Chain A
Amino acid sequence: MEAIILQVLNGLDKGSAYALIALGLTLIFGTLGVVNFAHGALFMIGAFCAVTLSRIISISRTIIDDSQTDFLGNPLKVDVPYVYDWFGQATGDVIIDWAVPLSILFAIPIMVAIGVAMERGLIKHFYKRPHADQILVTFGLAIVLQEIIKYFYGANPIPTPAPDAFRGSFDFGAAFGFDPNVIIYPYWRLVYFSFAAVIIASVFAFLQFTTFGMVVRAGMADRETVQLLGINIDRRFTLMFGMAAAVAGLAGVMYTPINSPNYHMGMDFLVLSFVVVVVGGMGSLPGAVLAGFLLGILESFASMREVLTILPGLNQIIIYLVAIIILLTRPRGLMGRKGVMED
Chain B
Amino acid sequence: MFGLEYKDSRMLILVAILVALAPFMLNPFPEGSGMAQFNAGYPDLMQRFVIFGIFAIGFNILFGLTGYLSFGHAAFLGVGSYAAMWMMKLLTMNVVPGIIFSVLVAGVFSLAVGWISLRRSGIYFSILTLAFAQMSYSLAYSVLTPITGGETGLQPKVTDPRILDGSLAEGTIAKANFFGLEMGSSFELQLGSWLFTFNAGYYLAAVVMLIAFYISIRIFRSPFGLMLRAVKSNQQRLNYTGLNTKPYTLAAFVISGMYAGLAGGLMVAMDTQVGAERMFWTASGEVVLMTILGGVGTLIGPVLGASAIKYMENILSKINSDILHQWFAFLPDGLEEFVITLIYPFIGKGWHLTLGLIFMAVVIFLPGGLVEGGQRIANLFKRKMPGKDARDNKS
Contacts and interface: CB of A to CB of B under 8 A. Distances in A.
Interface of A: 35, 122, 125, 131-133, 135-137, 139-144, 146-148, 150-151, 267, 271, 274-275, 278, 282, 312-313, 316-317, 320-321, 323-324, 327-328, 331, 341, 343
B123 A144 contact: no
Contact of A139 (B127, B138, B285): B285
A238 to B, nearest CB: 19
A327 B119 CA distance: 9
Given A125-B364, A132-B69, A320 B352 contact: no
A148 B123 CA distance: 28
Contacts of B135: 316-317, 320-321
Contact of B363 (A131, A136, A343): A136
Contacts of B132: 320, 324
B356 to A, nearest CB: 3
B143 A312 contact: yes
Contact of B127 (A274, A321, A328): A274
Contacts of B197: none
B130 A274 contact: yes
Contact of A341 (B119, B124, B143): B124
B124 A327 contact: yes
B131 interface: yes
A137 B143 contact: no
Contacts of A323: 127-128, 131
B356 A143 contact: yes
A92 to B, nearest CB: 34
B119 A328 contact: yes
Given A132-B69, A323-B128, A328-B119, 18 more contacts: A35-B123, A122-B364, A135-B123, A135-B126, A136-B292, A137-B364, A143-B355, A146-B352, A271-B281, A275-B127, A282-B123, A313-B138, A316-B141, A316-B142, A317-B138, A324-B131, A327-B120, A327-B128
B116 A324 contact: yes
A271 B126 CA distance: 11
B114 interface: no
Given A144-B356, A147-B350, A148-B353, A133 B123 contact: no
B353 A147 contact: yes
Contact of A331 (B120, B126, B143, B360): B120
B348 to A, nearest CB: 10
